[in-house]
Structure 1
């Protein structure tokens, strides 16, 4: 695991509730997930929400959630569900990430990259979505991808958007 950045040392650490709903090997640890979420939060020092639930799921759960919440009847690599508490309820929960292990594993193999690196990318990508980033419009995608690449580079992970 990498050492925390200066921003991370001056803020509350990321807290991750790791939920495993899939029978698989090589799943990221709670500490790895917290590190990756924390690195995103380090770029957002004003953010007070620092808790994220990360649920690692199988294809059927991913497909059901993607169908029910996005009207896309297919499994996907990561789904982000931001938590919006009423102003009078100060809960530090940023939201939930649901990551489909089979899809992430398949993508890592197809892209010839280590599984842990692809998991880092998916957690960083999903956490940025929890913070309101999107990639529907080209200019938004560029901003989001640049930040992803910067955070991944700090981890020694190559640009996932550059063809290898």
Structure 2
């Protein structure tokens, strides 16, 4: 039961967690979701709904300082749509620092020019889904040849 004046489920409380308890990185990601660029929107329309069983998140916070345009947790894949803002003063250095940080966390980082998304958003989405759904290292078939000498063996 919700008691009157507690703020839960009412306009005064908003029904959510208090703003002071939400990490700044999450607030920033929420803001970015509301302000997505047109190429990001086009790509999100094709990536949402788990195409080929691959789930993506948009404007996903990674660490305290960064958010990636799209993220696939199962593939540990971060996708960045690079538009004109990425050529602005200071942006290339920021992007490089972010990429180093993301890779240090074990993520694969892929950059897609916004112009490619605008040219053919479907093809861009298909390429991203294919990358996320195809692991780089395959387990050898049980009846196949043994691994070559020097290759990791499990």
The verdict on a shared fold, with TM-score over 0.5 as the criterion, is: no
The structure having more radius of gyration, on CA atoms, is 2
In the superposition, the TM-score normalised over structure 1's length comes to: 0.28
In the superposition, the TM-score normalised over structure 2's length comes to: 0.29
